[in-house]
Structure 1
């Protein structure tokens, strides 16, 4: 890969990552609404309330992680634009963010599956 095309590739990848982050944030907002639906249907069951609270905390942590990833991507993008060169630090930063996003996606997919099962069990699949 040519030296000048590395920043362009990184920029394109950053844009794709930011779109993924937008998608995850929107999906988490939907999950939060679904938790409210579960809570309203089972307002008297303490065990359900505990599960809803636990999921809310997990979703908040996921949102914080997404904000952190977005911040890292934007900072890296600014750094690339300012230096217009690719050095070992920029490449390492880029690879580190990629690894963090991939790790987030793995954990998120697992959470999503468990969350969907929980919601389906407590409000029924017809409302999803």
Structure 2
């Protein structure tokens, strides 16, 4: 019986560690402060970076009011939850040659929260 209890306890621990967590857009907004140094969330882009308002479903490099790198403009990427998560994990790894001077966000939970925040402002 002790062995069964240990197996069950071990299985519960593994399932708890791998269970998906719900993203938190409010926490994402707080984490977005690092992004806000360059990116706007309103309708207009800044001189440093494009606006991220309405990014979900938008083709990469498509805003008329921002001059993108060739790598971004020709990437063929459409911004989805998954593509944004991959990009903010490693911008240069996901789209080599883009001009975003950012090393990335290693935490999956942080990336999920930021994406949920971006979804909340996409209107």
TM-score (norm 2): 0.29
Higher helix fraction (1 or 2): 1
